[in-house]
Structure 1
Amino acid sequence: MSTTATVAAPARAAAAPRLSALVVARNEAARLPACLVSLAPADEILVVLDRSTDASADIARAQGARVLEGGWELEGARRNAGIAACTGDWVLEVDADERVPPALWDEIRRVIAASAHQYHRVRIDNYVGDRLILHGWGGSFGTTLKPILFRKGAKHWRGQRVHPGLDWTGTEGERLTAHGIRHEVDRDISDMLRRLDRYSSAKAADLLAEGRIGSLPDNLRRCASRIVKCYIGRKGYREGGWGLLIALCAGLFPLLSHLKARLEPERHRPAPPG
């Protein structure tokens, strides 16, 4: 009696997760091209342009990116709009002044293919001009790790103008630290001080909108503690004068925000909606 063997069909391999690269920008025509080139390995690139008046939209489309244009008063709102428009299973959220090196893409693909978690922090290498500054960042003026790799739906920005808070769904997985994103944070000292001015003005508007400008003694203490934390705790002293400058800016950020809200409310109070 003959028998017929039945051979099971091989299991179909699970499809690799799709990854969307998200860039939120405003008038970044000078820095956007290099950023988009570095994002080419993504399955999708989405550029959100907030009230841009330069050639950013044309540059993005020419490099194959989808473009979402609009006007958002709050940073959190514009970033949430970008996340919602992404079609990938995972999102890598970067800024126009950041570059993702080729070696990091292998690490990203490895992590999202196997991760049981909802988000991961990625190493950030901060440059002032051509100088890499490794130590001393903090106090809302810079960071060396950011939670920018996440599953669609896991990350929600809060409604603030500068450094909005985050709400997460799920757990944090391993940190990607073997390779860092190049962040061209400032061109020089003058650029750093202009950034401090912009950030503190936006924060003053947030404080006024939320009705919590605080007291001068509390903000003097915050200023002092941030300077010590960045310069000593985060080893800014290892960067010499650069570390001191970063520590001073980190400490001055809450103090200047408070003083602008208290002394110049008419200049920083948000306009009523509508």
Structure 2
Amino acid sequence: MQTTAGEEAIAVSVFIIAHDEADRIGRAIDSVAAFADEVVVIDSGSTDGTQEIARAHGARVVENAWPGYGPQKRFGEDQCRNDWIFNLDADEAATPALAAEIAGLARSGALARSPFWEVAIRDVFAHETAPAPWAYGYIQIRLYDRRVGRFSDSTVHDTVRPPKGARPARLRQPMEHRSIRSIAFQVEKMNRYSTAQVGDMAARGRRFARWRLVTEFPLAFLKAYVIRRYALYGWWGIVISVNFAYTRFLRVSKAYERELCEAAATPDRR
């Protein structure tokens, strides 16, 4: 379709990686209906009916055994029929305002003004229906032209890598992030993810300074409680600040444990 400005409408594919996300995948798919030319769900062996729910909400489901975050997202990029891609995770959703913003940009062809668009991703907890006004958020490129830049191939870090010197544009509206189903779920996730992070660090030859065993927890708590403004959540802010700090401490302690085991396996090591 040709617009009055002489720009062509741009078709946008959406892909979502998922594993046992039956309770959240429908919300994620429905949230992009206003602008998605297609939705592709990359499933890594769900056993809770995620695939069937995704299909019922209009997505195409592709099975792929889990290779790590970056490789799975690169696989997802390859399954899309369009070069313009919007990525969200199963625990995320485009707000109605964000979906309308992207739909307008796609219809007008204005997406082409930049090959990379950043979006603010804001926390929503299980007892909330929308992000709090002070909700912590981080900025990532999630809407992009895969011909110019793609996700990294890191098994731990799933980030779109633009070429050097690229200047992404910024979407005005936010995305919702419901990463914590419950405290029990968060504990399992932090344990699993910290182990993966330590493995990734070891593969790259990185180590933590041992003094961080002492400083990591208190400094991380202060970062969460003050800088991330978790204090504004009241008592709940204490809970999520402690959990954040413990997640950071787990990385350092597991890395140190790995060093001890490696030293024990090589007695001559100094």
1:204–1:257 contact (8 Å) kept in structure 2? yes
Cα offset, 1:262, TM superposition: 3.0
**1-structure distance, mates of 2:182, 2:76:** 30
What runs of 5+ residues in structure 1 fail to find an aligned partner? 1-9, 138-142, 268-274
2:48 corresponds to 1:32: no
Which position in structure 2 is the counterpart of 1:121?
118
Mean alpha-carbon deviation: is it higher for 10-19 or for 68-77? 10-19
Shift of 1:118: 2.0
Aligned length, in residue pairs: 251
Match of 2:190 among 192, 196, 200: 196
Match of 1:270 in 2: none
1:173 aligns with 2:169: yes
Q: CA deviation at 1:238?
A: 1.8
SS of 2:179's partner is strand
Matched residues in 2 for 1:266 and 1:39: separation?
Answer: 48
Q: TM-score with structure 2 length normalisation?
A: 0.79
Give CA-to-partner distance per residue, 1:174-209, whole Å, 9 cap, x none.
Answer: 2323xx323222133333333322221221222233
Instruction: Give the structure with higher Rg (CA).
Output: 1
> Residues 249 and 25 (structure 1 numbering): CA distance in 2 closer, same or farther, change over 3 Å?
same
1:106/1:12 CA distance change after superposition, 3 Å: closer
Q: 1:11 to 1:187 in 2, by over 3 A?
A: closer
AA aligned opposite 1:93: N
AA at the equivalent of 1:171: R
The answer for the alignment partner of 1:257 in structure 2 is 251
User: Helix, strand or coil: the match of 1:186?
Assistant: coil
Amino acid at match of 1:238: L
Q: Contact 2:31 / 2:99 at 8 angstroms: preserved in 1?
A: no
Give 1:264 deviation, angstroms.
Answer: 5.6
State how far apart, in whole Å, the 2-side matches of 1:229 and 1:181 are: 22
- Between the aligned partners of 1:251 and 1:25, the Cα distance in structure 2 is 27
Unaligned runs of 5+ in 2: 262-270
Contact 1:48 1:69 survives alignment (8 Å) = yes
TM-score by length of 1: 0.78
Matches within 5 A, 1:174-253: 174-177=170-173, 180-218=174-212, 220-253=214-247
Q: CA deviation at 1:43?
A: 0.7
Aligned residue number for residue 265 of structure 2: none
Taking the aligned partners of 2:81 and 2:56, their CA distance within structure 1 comes to 20
Q: CA deviation at 1:222?
A: 4.4
For the aligned residue pairs, the C-alpha RMSD in angstroms reads 2.9
Task: Say whether 1:149 aligns with 2:146.
Answer: no
Q: Distance in 1 between matches of 2:244 and 2:91?
A: 20
Q: Deviations over 1:238-259 (max 9, x none)?
A: 2223333333333333321222
Give distance in 1, aligned partners of 2:238 and 2:4. 58
Q: Is the 8 A contact 1:136 1:230 kept in 2?
A: no
